[in-house]
Amino acid sequence: MGRLPRRSAAVIPALFVAIFFVYPVGSILWRGIGSANNDRVRQVLSSDAFAGVVWFSLWQAVVSTVLTLLVALPAAYAVARYDVIGRNAFRAIIIVPFVLPTVVVAGAFEAVFARFGLAGLRNTPWAVLLAHVFFNYAVVVRIVGTFWEQLSARPEQAARVLGAGRTQTFLSVTLPRLRPALGSAAAIVFLFTFTSFGVILLLGGPTSATIETEIWRYAVSRIEFDVAAALALLQLVAVVGLVVLTTRTQKSRSVDASGVAASNLRRPRGSQRIFISAVVASAVALLGVPVITLIERSLSVGGGYGLDHYRALGDRVALLPVSPARALTNSLQYAVMAAAIAVAVGTLAALAATGRTKFGRGLDTLLTLPLGTSAVTLGLGILIALDQPPVDFRTRWWIVPVAHALVGIPFVLRGVLPALRGISPGLREVAATLGASPARVFREVDAPLAGRALLVGAAFAFAVSLGEFGATSFVPRRPETTTAPIAIFRLLGQPGDVLRGQAMALSVILMIVTATSALAIERLHKNSDGLL
């Protein structure tokens, strides 16, 4: 594909991102800067309450990151060093919590608190910290575990021969070699928790406010868009600064890849088996108990068990404009549309960026930007920017899957682009010589060879859309287009066993569909060296 066709393929992706991402986010930046002289904005930003919000945003992110590293590091070691039955299944299953919708996780922890008499944890920072560890456990295990597996065990063995104990060997030899992976995992977890929205809003309560939840409250509850834009600007600057700092820190570290063994896996013996059992038991307690309890509570009816809450999903409730079942149908429809949009736009972008030119790298960066922007910022941008002609799109039914697709496109691009670059140019040249048009070359050559990566991207976009809550909570919707995460959020916010039972039942269904997508991704992408 020549330079001109590549740039032609880039027109649609570039326009898509420019209209639905760059313009809304740019509008927030402009409005946030312009609000500097607003007395109300200055009052909010200089208040002690806002200082407390900033402190809690940083505090909970730091503590969540440290706790996640401490809890997940033993599992990363077990995955990296021991060859046991079920190792690959363990690596696949722990991905499920990472992709679960935040409202489902909130429902799971609400179920745990109710089932085990832990009502005192509701609306506390401890609930937030537990949920963050639950979410990000797989990040540490996959990143650190994969890196650890590639490092030779000989330096540790040499240290032990010279008389160093296990603790000294780990601190003096292993830990310094793991710093690149630990730094990468810590940076990702910190960014995820610093920009956390659904977990804070649903489990933290009004006293556990972060910058992210304050943006939502000022925009949606108080209708003070200038204050919300100023907060979003601060949030965006902070996130960009964190990303730049992390990137520079990571570049300054060297990876000790010398002496990499063909395989560092070994069969556990004696006390090592006890260690593996303890790792599995802790993972079950952290990841399995909330999920199992959620299912149990969804079936709990009075003094026994039944399917009453599931049957009631087809009934209307006063606080929802549609039945929970209809909300689930809306989410599934939106997820299919978001996946289709992400595949179409992401594939065109991948075709345009295949040539490794400055143009291709620029397009790649442009379409990856939504991953570094919080869903709340994106939702606020759509709310305040796309409300006037010629881009008056806020109330259009399709704006929801479009917003969801923005997050799915980078996954499609990141998967398809390497696959296309790995195809020999000779295959395309032969097809073109035989008279095939560029479209037919793509159908007959590129699509079959990049098909697996395309399916991974589509499954990712589907899963992301299905559980998306942050941006959707901002976008004005017709009452009949309420999504499942919004329905769960409203049901959980009301007292009463019947409504909470319906919230649990809807959460279980959403969890099953999302988990199925996650396991399909893992199966398709099982040879990846990254997070997924």
For residue 442, what are the β-bridge partners? Answer: none
Domain identity same for 299 and 365: no
> What pLDDT is recorded for position 4?
45
Six token digits for residue 188: 């990702």
Determine, yes or no, domain membership for 33: no
Reported as type and span, the H/E element at residue 305 is strand 304-305
Query: How many of the other CB atoms lie within 10 Å of CB of 228?
Result: 30
Domain identity same for 326 and 441: yes
Determine, yes or no, domain membership for 361: yes
- As a whole number of angstroms, the distance between CA 420 and CA 42 comes to 51
CATH number of residue 493's parent domain: 1.10.3720.10
Give CB contacts under 8 A, 24+ apart, made by 237-245.
238/194, 238/211, 239/191, 239/194, 239/195, 239/372, 239/373, 239/374, 240/372, 242/187, 242/190, 242/191, 242/194, 243/191, 243/372
3-state secondary structure of 223: coil
Domain identity same for 17 and 58: no
Six token digits for residue 466: 């299905």
3-state secondary structure of 256: coil
Query: 0.85 exceeded by the pTM?
Result: no
Domain identity same for 234 and 90: yes
Query: How many of the other CB atoms lie within 10 Å of CB of 300?
Result: 20
Determine, yes or no, domain membership for 126: yes
- As a whole number of angstroms, the distance between CA 166 and CA 155 comes to 13
Domain boundary among 305, 332, 349: 305
Q: Could you list the residue range(s) of the whole structural domain that residue 342 is in? A: 1-24+307-532
**Do the beta carbons of residue 392 and residue 386 sit within 8 Å?**
yes
For residue 374, what are the β-bridge partners? Answer: none
Domain identity same for 296 and 159: yes
Domain identity same for 66 and 89: yes
Q: Is 432 exposed, middle or buried (0-12, 13-18, 19+ CB in 10 A)?
A: middle
Helix (H) and strand (E) counts in the chain: 28, 2
Domain identity same for 295 and 312: no
DSSP assignment of 451-468 equals HHHHHHHHHHHHHHHHH-
Best CA proximity match to 460, nearest among 207, 99, 210, 159: 99
Sites in the chain below the pLDDT cut of 50: 1-4, 252-262, 527-532
Domain identity same for 20 and 86: no
**Do the beta carbons of residue 268 and residue 84 sit within 8 Å?**
yes
Integer CA distances (angstroms), 399 to 21, 79, 311, 383, 489, in order: 12, 42, 31, 11, 20
Determine, yes or no, domain membership for 387: yes
Domain identity same for 6 and 43: no
Domain identity same for 53 and 16: no
Best CA proximity match to 381, nearest among 373, 390, 389: 373
Determine, yes or no, domain membership for 148: yes
Query: How many of the other CB atoms lie within 10 Å of CB of 298?
Result: 26
- Domain count within the chain: 2
Domain identity same for 286 and 353: no
Domain boundary among 283, 305, 327: 305
Domain identity same for 365 and 491: yes
Spell out the residues 6+ positions from residue 400 whose beta carbon is closer than 8 angstroms to its own.
334, 472, 475, 477, 481, 483
Q: Do you find a cis peptide bond into 180, omega within 30 degrees of 0? A: no
Determine, yes or no, domain membership for 54: yes
Domain boundary among 254, 271, 305: 305
Determine, yes or no, domain membership for 31: no
Best CA proximity match to 345, nearest among 418, 438, 416: 416
Determine, yes or no, domain membership for 30: no
> What pLDDT is recorded for position 331?
92
Q: Residue 164: what residue type?
A: A
